[in-house]
Amino acid sequence: MVDFTWRGAAMRAVLILFLGLGLVVRVGAEPGNDNRAPDLGDAQNLRVEEGHKVAFRAYAEGVQIWSWNGASWDFLRPEAVLYAGADDDELFGIHYAGPTWESDSGSYVVGAVVDRATPNPDAIPWLLLKGVESGGPGIFDGVTFIQRVNTVGGKAPAYDGDFPGEEVGVPYTADYYFYRKHD
């Protein structure tokens, strides 16, 4: 397992530097186009309620930060960069504690976990989150629900930490689907 020890402020500073380059996301999304929802397989508990449609999706690469409490690993926060797709190299946002997603245009959404599923026991769970706060000009304004699916990695280390307070960043990837209310 790769062991990263990125600190939140330092990583966010680097990510904000990249975001300052003015990269633009190519989402090509039409709010209300429901056929772009992810295949949830056996995780049907993560379905978004009626009246909300996929607005766009993002591919995330980053780390899940864990802290050793002396007996086990506690989850602290995610730190990731967002792309329009896994094969896209144009960065358009970041994902960090809250959990919060923020675009280079300044829009953001903060989510709260509604439900989870674990289709892959070797990866962090898939999630359904409700947007509890959003704003700013751009794609995240007005987001009502978020789904985290197709996760790879990110689980707590399988080994003990060296000292209480030790932080470890475990690499992960995921697809995020963002929904808005559809009239």
Q: Which helix (H) or strand (E) holds 70?
A: none
Q: What is the DSSP string of 98-146?
A: TTEEEETTS-EEEEEEEEEE-S-TTSPPEEEEEEEEEESSSTTTTEEEE
pLDDT at 34: 52
Amino acid of residue 168: V
Amino acid of residue 89: D
Residues 102 and 56: their CA atoms lie apart, in Å, by: 14
pLDDT at 85: 80
Residues in contact with 105: Cβ distance below 8 Å, sequence separation at least 6, in sequence order: 136, 137, 138, 139
Per-residue pLDDT of the chain (183 residues; tens, 9 = 90+): 334 344 344 344 434 433 333 333 333 333 334 568 999 999 999 999 999 999 999 999 999 999 999 999 999 999 999 998 888 888 999 999 999 999 999 999 999 999 999 999 999 999 999 999 999 989 999 999 999 999 999 999 999 999 999 999 999 999 999 999 987
pLDDT at 87: 85
pLDDT at 36: 83
pLDDT at 131: 97
Of the candidates 77, 80, 75, 84, which has an alpha carbon nearest to the alpha carbon of residue 56? 84
Q: Per the structure block, which two tokens stand in for 114?
A: 């509604």
Task: With beta carbons less than 8 A apart as the criterion, state whether 126 and 147 touch.
Answer: yes
Q: Looking up tokens 């962090």, which residue turns up?
A: 124
What predicted TM-score, i.e. pTM, was given to this entire model? 0.81
pLDDT at 35: 62
What values do phi and psi take at 45, rounded to 5?
Answer: -65, -10
